[in-house]
Amino acid sequence: MPSVSSSAASHPAAAPRGVDVHPLSPALGAEIRGVDLTRPIDEATFSVIADAWREHLVILFRDQVLSEEDQVRFAQRFGALQGRPRPASMRAETAVKHPEIMLVSNIRENGKPIGSLPDGEMQFHSDMCYIEQPAKGTFLYAIEIPSVGGDTHFLNMYAAYDALPAEIKAKIDGRQAVNVFQYGSTSREGNNPDFDEHPHYTHPMVRTHPDSRRKALFVNRLMTWSIEGMEDAESAALLDALFDHIEQPKFIYEHKWRVGDLLLWDNRCTLHARTDFSDKERRLLRRCVIQGDKPY
């Protein structure tokens, strides 16, 4: 694993003593060391964190002991918390103080899951891409983790776009696709949308990141259903080819969780997926997201 401090190189004056940025893979991701997120974060430290997020797209803080309040306070440095699109009547019972907090867990009490998205593998997706203003960033904090599996894989959608052949770029630039999610589904095969019932929204297949101004692919296997204005068979074939292109190992960082990890990822230029894990082991993570804008 590389251990070069990119913060020291790019922010010699702003990097406070002991705060370092360590890339996690050639594709994306960086660990930030030397920050205790339970304590107030000064402007210089926050600037290192924000710059690292912009550069590496996914950032990791290890060995954190975070209350719900700590997590929310840190997330709010990046923007307003975003409410959950899922109706309250369809949510699992959760003991959380903030309605924006979601527990991701397979733990069941009295036969009912205490959280959402409980079991098994989950295909690549971007959080809430099926609503008008999808989540900008997701903060996920690990409380209980299985001994094997339940990893999260992250994918760099700038790199995936840049590597496309020119003729495919020409085909999809300016095109729109419908994104839809049947709550609880974890694979394309299991996502059987009823467009009268399930949330869906049409977004550009290639979006421009509002901060970096770079183009990123904005389609994914789990939730991107069809391409607007294209015949069904052609749309399905093109999407399949795009998904296969996107999901190449060279664009991916595979994160193995440890208890106390807090990850922040940018839904505007990354995808994420979960690997399978045993239903005999407990998995509990705490999630909140910050409000995003309408993609363009």
Q: Does 31 bind Fe ion (CB under 5 A)?
A: no
Nearer to Fe ion, 41 or 137 (CB): 137
Q: If binding means CB under 5 A, how many residues of this protein chain bind Fe ion?
A: 1
287 is annotated as an active-site residue: yes
**At its nearest, how many Å lie between Fe ion and the CB of residue 280?**
23
Q: Which amino acid, one-letter code, is at 35?
A: V
**Residue number closest to Fe ion, CB atom:** 127
Which span (11-19, 66-74, 120-128, 204-212) binds Fe ion, by CB under 5 A? Answer: 120-128
> Which tokens in the block code for residue 289?
């997201």
DSSP state of 98: S
Q: How far apart are CA 191 and CA 184, in angstroms?
A: 8
Min dist. Cβ of residue 58 to Fe ion (A): 13
Q: What's the closest the beta carbon of residue 3 comes to Fe ion, in angstroms?
A: 29
Residue 203 designated active-site = no
Which span (86-94, 125-133, 248-256, 280-288) binds Fe ion, by CB under 5 A?
125-133
How many Cβ atoms sit within 10 Å of the Cβ of residue 55? Answer: 16
Structure tokens at 246: 């996107």
Q: Tell me if residue 22 is catalytic.
A: no
Active-site residue (options: 272, 274, 283, 286): 272
- Which of 128/160 has CB closer to Fe ion? 128
Judged by CB under 5 A, which of 20, 31, 127, 266 binds Fe ion?
A: 127
Question: Which own/partner contact pairs does 113-117 have at CB distance under 8 Å and 24+ positions apart?
Answer: 114/284, 115/284, 116/86, 116/91, 116/92, 117/184, 117/186
d(CA 11, CA 259): 30
56 noted as active-site residue: no
Q: What share of the chain is helix, strand, coil (3-state, %, to 5)?
A: 20, 30, 50
Q: Which one is catalytic: 20, 127, 261, 266?
A: 127
Q: Beta-carbon neighbour count of residue 82 at 10 Å?
A: 22
Is the CB of 238 or the CB of 271 nearer to Fe ion?
271
> Which sequence positions are flagged as catalytic?
125, 127, 272, 287
Where on the chain is the footprint of Fe ion (CB under 5 A)? 127
